[in-house]
Amino acid sequence: MAFKIFILLSLLTACVISDSCVTYNFEEEFDIFSNHGICRNNAPWIVGNYEDLGLASPNEHSTKFITPSLYGELSCASSSYFIMQADAELEFNVYVESGIRNSILFLAFAEDHSVNGLAANSMTISGWQTVKMPIYSSQSFRGYIVLVSEASPNATILVDSFRYIPPGEDESLCQIYG
């Protein structure tokens, strides 16, 4: 039990001290995401398997994704806090296939009560996309990632992975899948 707590604290520390690359896929656990901050009182996102959908993943090492848990209602997930630097970049690997009516995917980062993000109407994105979001700030801050979606019943919205790339970091050294 003590060993498990040590491993968990080590993983959380890696996400909190982020002057280097932070990557996350959903192969192991969905444990760094919760419904804190602006996601409080909203439906969560859930983990799914590509095999169940018959959909090819964006990487041969990827078998899992997260998706909104309720269609027609707002689903929201927020990551653990970590230090984000000015001029860093967030990258999300997402899959969107529109349903009959519009669906919304909102990717953001938050600092306390301030939220900065990028909304994507599912009618403008189709298939796999890498969405890049620059972090404009005058200084480093303690923040977290926010994923919000409202999807129609016939829509498919998936997040495969994300990465945080600090300024000056070589992107080729910041691999999501080894």
pLDDT in the model for residue 1:
39
β-strand partners of 121: 104
Share of the chain above pLDDT 90, in %: 34
pLDDT in the model for residue 94:
93
Distinct helix (H) and strand (E) counts, the chain: 2, 12
pTM: 0.81
Joined together, the tokens standing for residue 178 give 């080894």
Fold of the CATH domain 2-173 = Jelly Rolls (2.60.120)
pLDDT in the model for residue 8:
32
Write down the mean pLDDT value for the chain: 80
Task: Pick out the chain residues at pLDDT < 70.
Answer: 1-18, 29-32, 71, 99-102, 112-113, 117-125
pLDDT in the model for residue 92:
94
Phi, psi torsion values for 112, nearest 5 degrees: 50, -110
**Please, which residues have CB within 8 angstroms of residue 84's CB and are 6 or more apart in sequence?**
18, 109, 111, 135, 137, 140, 141, 142, 143, 164
